[in-house]
Amino acid sequence: MMLASVFVLVVMLVLLCSSLWIGFALLGTGLMSLEWFRDVPIQRILAQDVWSRLNADELVTLPLFVLMGDILFFSKLSESLFRGIAPWVQRLPGGLLHVNVIGCTIFAAVSGSSAATTATVGRMTLRELLKRGYDKDMAMGSLAGAGTIGLMIPPSIPMIVYGVLADVSILDLFIAGVVPGLIIAAMFIGWIICQALWQPSVQPREKEVYTWAQKIESLKDLLPVGLLILSVIGSMYSGLASVTEAAAVGVAGALGISLAQGLMSWKNMGRALLSTVRTCSMIGLILLGALFLAKVMTMLAIPGETGAWVKSLNLSPYMLIFTLLVVYLILGTALDGLSAMVMTLPVVFPLVLASGFDPVWFGIFLIITIELSNVSPPVGFNLFIIQQMTGESQTRVAKSSLPYCILMLVLIVVMTVWPGLITWLPQLLKA
Amino acid sequence: MKFLRQSCEWIDRFNFLGACVAAAACALLSVILLVEVLGASVLAWSQPWAVEYASYLCAFVLLSGSGYALRHGAHIRVAVVLAHLPTRLARALDVLCTLCALYISGLLTVGLIEQAWRSHVRLTVSYFVMQTPMWIPQAMVALGAFMLWLALLARLVRLIIHDAPDLADDREVGQGAAE
């Protein structure tokens, strides 16, 4: 059966490299493997698998959270976040640069996408920071890095995809992402403070002075997003609503905010819905491919076999994770992170389980690798967004975000050495 | 040539219609679940059909806009090789990829149609309270797969007659990004 493993790997690589769409490449690999190694009605198996996968209850959260993000795109949240956070961070070393990190962290709690987080927060902060004389590289780098927090703090689209693929509780993943998300935000803030102390020129000398009354007044701007976070995350964590129901509440809340701000017209609603359909169709196709391939691999007994093979190599768990990290970093230079995760998971997941890693922990590990790929040239989506906003070269944007990539790598090391950092909160809430 | 172009445009319109219906399904999905949350938590009035129909609508949303997404270049591919090949070779490879995808989506479409037909003949109903005849949602999903097949066919025709196979993605930066 070693032949089957090699066959799957070679066919998948050939189809992917041939520029076939990833979803079709995965479906094609599964179909060819079945045709070659099993005498079964492939068409029937394919249809049954696609139907049962598309009907999975946990998938319902996907269009809802995507729609929530698309609706929020037509709101004034970026302005509100800036006005609400700026008075509180003005006196910190690094000043308003912290708005990028804190704004992204807050927006991450209502958005499942790193790109949407970067675009929404950045369209206000970049302009304001540059106008006030902040260092351009610091402004771009902190935004590129902080935008990735959108994937870590729930809701998170890649977490939903991972949960469906690996059959892991999406709620557990959502809970597990909070601590590392806050840690990475704290690390980014720490880095900005160190940089501002070491190199004071990164921020203007003159600082706006806010009275306490103005500071308290500014909190009013954070109220809508605060209520949305409370209703979505609060209802999930408290057990008042399931993840799916919380997503529906989130859509209603996002719509409420956009309507209250007078920015939601029928036209914008139509645009948001069509955008959601496009995104979901894209994710849907690659999900179907990956799930079908995973099923075929199980039918061919590949996971058990590769697990035994990895065990025979006597790789330490750390070595395996290090190898995977290198593989994902390399893949991240050619592929977007979500695709890299989906196409490798059927092969990688059994190996990781065989090495004794917790599936929730591994999910968070993968999310950080996706975050890294979002700020890795040439296909890092956050880089592309900031490049579009500033007109700077991708190399300059990538260089400016390098310290934040290193901090993410530090987080991976920390969570590998102390896996409890990720798993304790889900276990605590379960207990 | 004119007939081919017109046929492709009709396929585009059909797929746009599919995407609009999928968008409406997405909105309906949100409304159904919101009614369920409010009904169950405030009025202790749970809808027995909410979970079942939400999953059918979700299946429809995930597949029925696929042809429209393809036309707008939203489906992801590793285009490194394609980008570095001379134009003629790149077009030939693109034709080959589209043919391959056409075959796979054809298999999927036929498989899903057969499945819906079997459910119809065997009078299969869902295991939920509503006991929905399964052929109805299965036929909806089969229709979604057929629309994708049609979009691939139009793409193949456009490649052969040297028309642009994909439209530019007209979404604003960051909107609708999955990552």
Q: Average pLDDT, stretch A244-265?
A: 88
Asked whether residue A301 carries a pLDDT value surpassing 70, the answer given is yes
DSSP secondary structure of B37-103: HHHHHHS----TTHHHHHHHHHHHHHHHTHHHHHHTT-S-B--HHHHHS-HHHHHHHHHHHHHHHHH
- Tell if the CB–CB gap between B177 and A381 is shorter than 8 Å: yes
CA distances (Å), A234 to each of A169, A239, B178, in order? 17, 8, 23
Q: Residue A297 — φ and ψ, nearest 5°?
A: -60, -40
| Any B CB within 8 A of A179 CB | no
A261-275, A305-319, B17-31: segment of lowest average pLDDT: A305-319
- Tell if the CB–CB gap between B74 and A22 is shorter than 8 Å: no
Asked whether residue A338 carries a pLDDT value surpassing 60, the answer given is yes
CB A73 within 8 A of CB B174: yes
* Interfacial B residues in 118-137 facing A (CB < 8 Å): none
Q: How far is A308 from chain B (nearest CA, A)?
A: 31
Per cent of chain A over pLDDT 70 is 99
CA B34, CA A250: separation in Å to the nearest integer? 10
Which residues does chain A have within 8 Å of residue B66's beta carbon, measured at their own beta carbons? 281, 284-285
Chains A, B: CB pairs < 8 Å: 249
User: In 3D, which of A386, A331, A321, A55 has the Cα closest to residue A395?
Assistant: A386
Q: How far is B138 from chain A (nearest CA, A)?
A: 7
- Tell if the CB–CB gap between A157 and B179 is shorter than 8 Å: yes
Q: Average pLDDT, stretch A314-338?
A: 83
CA A251, CA A51: separation in Å to the nearest integer? 26
Q: Dig out the tokens for A284 from the structure.
A: 């849907």
| Any B CB within 8 A of A378 CB | no
Classify B145 as helix, strand or coil: helix
- Which residues are CB-contacts of B179 (< 8 A; sequence separation ≥ 6)? A113, A114, A115, A151, A157, A158, A336, A337, A338, A370, A374, A381
**Total Cβ atoms within 10 A of residue B4:** 14
Angle between helices A317-332 and A337-354 (to 10 degrees): 170
Which residues does chain A have within 8 Å of residue B107's beta carbon, measured at their own beta carbons? 31, 42-43, 46
Asked whether residue A315 carries a pLDDT value surpassing 70, the answer given is yes
Q: Which residues pair with A21 in a beta bridge?
A: B77
CA A257, CA A253: separation in Å to the nearest integer? 6
A334-343, B103-112, B165-174: segment of lowest average pLDDT: B165-174
Residue in chain B nearest A108 by alpha carbon:
B179
The predicted structure's pLDDT at residue B176: 64
CB A166 within 8 A of CB A363: yes
Asked whether residue B179 carries a pLDDT value surpassing 70, the answer given is no
- Tell if the CB–CB gap between B62 and A57 is shorter than 8 Å: no
Which residues does chain B have within 8 Å of residue A43's beta carbon, measured at their own beta carbons? 107, 110-111, 114
- Helix (H), strand (E) at residue B20: helix B2-42
CA A349, CA A346: separation in Å to the nearest integer? 6
| Any A CB within 8 A of B48 CB | no
CA A228, CA A256: separation in Å to the nearest integer? 10
The predicted structure's pLDDT at residue A308: 78
- Tell if the CB–CB gap between A119 and B173 is shorter than 8 Å: yes
DSSP label at residue B133:
B
* Locus of tokens 């990720």: A422
Q: Average pLDDT, stretch B106-130?
A: 92
Q: Average pLDDT, stretch B51-74?
A: 92
Confidence of residue A378 (pLDDT cuts 50, 70, 90): low
The predicted structure's pLDDT at residue A72: 87
Q: Which of B30, B145, B178 sits opposite A283 (nearest CB)?
A: B178
CA B140, CA B143: separation in Å to the nearest integer? 5
A327-331, A423-427, B46-50, B102-106: segment of lowest average pLDDT: B46-50
The predicted structure's pLDDT at residue A379: 65
Classify B166 as helix, strand or coil: coil
Residue in chain B nearest A120 by alpha carbon:
B174
What is the tens place of the pLDDT at every residue in A94-152?
Answer: 999 999 999 999 988 888 888 888 888 888 889 889 988 999 999 999 999 999 998 89
Q: How far is A157 from chain B (nearest CA, A)?
A: 6
- Tell if the CB–CB gap between B58 and A42 is shorter than 8 Å: no
CB A225 within 8 A of CB A106: yes
Confidence of residue B40 (pLDDT cuts 50, 70, 90): confident
Confidence of residue A11 (pLDDT cuts 50, 70, 90): very high
ipTM (interface predicted TM): 0.93
Which residues does chain B have within 8 Å of residue A118's beta carbon, measured at their own beta carbons? 174
The predicted structure's pLDDT at residue A124: 83
- Tell if the CB–CB gap between B115 and A66 is shorter than 8 Å: no
* Interfacial B residues in 56-75 facing A (CB < 8 Å): 56, 58-59, 61-66, 68-69, 72, 74-75
| Any B CB within 8 A of A13 CB | no
CB A175 within 8 A of CB A429: yes
Asked whether residue A310 carries a pLDDT value surpassing 80, the answer given is no
- Tell if the CB–CB gap between A336 and B74 is shorter than 8 Å: no
- Tell if the CB–CB gap between B114 and A252 is shorter than 8 Å: no
* Locus of tokens 């999903």: B141
Mean pLDDT (chain B) is 90
The predicted structure's pLDDT at residue A64: 92
Give the per-residue SS3 of chain A.
CHHHHHHHHHHHHHHHHCCCEHHHHHHHHHHHHHHHHCCCCHHHHHHHHHHHHHCCHHHHHHHHHHHHHHHHCCCCHHHHHHHHHHHHHCCCCCCCHHHHHHHHHHHHCCCCCHHHHHHHHHHHHHHHHHHCCCCHHHHHHHHHHHHCHHHHCCCCHHHHHHHHHHCCCHHHHHHHHHHHHHHHHHHHHHHHHHHHHHCHHHCCCCCCCCCHHHHHHHHHHHHHHHHHHHHHHHHHHCCCCCHHHHHHHHHHHHHHHHHHCCCCCHHHHHHHHHHHHHHHHHHHHHHHHHHHHHHHHHHCCHHHHHHHHHHHCCCCHHHHHHHHHHHHHHHHCCCCHHHHHHHHHHHHHHHHHHCCCCHHHHHHHHHHHHHHHHCCCCCCHHHHHHHHHHCCCHHHHHHHHHHHHHHHHHHHHHHHHCCHHHHHHHHHHHC
Confidence of residue A374 (pLDDT cuts 50, 70, 90): confident
The predicted structure's pLDDT at residue A402: 92
- Tell if the CB–CB gap between A280 and B55 is shorter than 8 Å: no
User: In 3D, which of A242, A274, A181, A137 has the Cα closest to residue B51?
Assistant: A242
- Tell if the CB–CB gap between A281 and B78 is shorter than 8 Å: no
Residue in chain B nearest A22 by alpha carbon:
B77
Confidence of residue B142 (pLDDT cuts 50, 70, 90): very high
The predicted structure's pLDDT at residue B149: 97
The predicted structure's pLDDT at residue A244: 87
Q: How far is CA B158 from its chain centroid?
A: 20
Q: How far is B111 from chain A (nearest CA, A)?
A: 5
- Tell if the CB–CB gap between B174 and A286 is shorter than 8 Å: no
| pTM, two decimal places | 0.87
User: Quick one: CA dihedral A197, A200, A205, A207, positive or negative?
Assistant: negative
Q: Average pLDDT, stretch B76-80?
A: 81
Confidence of residue B172 (pLDDT cuts 50, 70, 90): low
Which residues does chain B have within 8 Å of residue A231's beta carbon, measured at their own beta carbons? none
Residue in chain A nearest B177 by alpha carbon:
A115
Q: Which of B33, B75, B138 sits opposite A21 (nearest CB)?
A: B75
Asked whether residue A234 carries a pLDDT value surpassing 90, the answer given is no
Classify B123 as helix, strand or coil: coil
Asked whether residue B178 carries a pLDDT value surpassing 80, the answer given is no
Q: Average pLDDT, stretch B1-15?
A: 92
| Any B CB within 8 A of A390 CB | no
Q: Which of B26, B94, B174 sits opposite A273 (nearest CB)?
A: B26
Q: Which residues pair with A125 in a beta bridge?
A: none
Annotate B12-46 with b (16+ C-beta within 10 A) or e (fewer): bebbeebbbbbbebbbebbebbbebbeeeeeeeee
User: In 3D, which of B67, B76, B57 has the Cα closest to residue B17?
Assistant: B67
CA A250, CA A384: separation in Å to the nearest integer? 28
| Any B CB within 8 A of A333 CB | no
| Any B CB within 8 A of A151 CB | yes
Q: Dig out the tokens for B94 from the structure.
A: 């693109």
| Any A CB within 8 A of B110 CB | yes
- Which residues are CB-contacts of B135 (< 8 A; sequence separation ≥ 6)? B116, B117, B119, B120, B124
Mean pLDDT (chain A) is 88
